[in-house]
Amino acid sequence: MKHFYLLFCLLFISFCFAQKSPTPSGDIDGFKVYPNPVTTGRVFIETAVNAPKKVLVFDIFGNMVLETTILRKELSVANLVSGVYVLRVLEKDKVATRKLVIK
């Protein structure tokens, strides 16, 4: 009976990993985030396409602390307290994730 459960678990795990992810894939071309660490309350996000970007910022516990869409390069993070965050940027069908430090 243990072999049956083990086989079932392995098949389930392989099936889950074989599914195509519904989230965007691929890193954004020409992606740059500066200055990092942020000291001025503003961070600039550049890409090769410079299309509108959906920006998500998460704290170290995985809670979303900021969600916005920017049309240009500048993102205001003045209302965030000092610390380490995860920055996720979605542009068209691509996504980039970076660490963001705010001092």
pTM for this prediction: 0.71
Q: What is the CATH number of domain 27-102?
A: 2.60.40.3080
Q: Which has the closest alpha carbon to 95: 35, 34, 37, 47?
A: 47
Evaluated on CA atoms 13, 18, 22, 24, the torsion sign reads: positive
Residue located via tokens 């309350």: 41
**pLDDT tens, the chain, 103 aa long:** 655 555 555 555 665 555 554 444 468 889 999 998 999 999 999 999 889 999 999 999 999 999 999 999 999 999 999 999 999 999 988 999 999 999 9
What pLDDT does 15 receive? 56
**Residue 23: enclosing H or E segment and its boundaries?**
none
User: What are the residue ranges spanned by the domains of the chain?
Assistant: 27-102
Phi/psi of residue 2, each to 5°? -65, -35
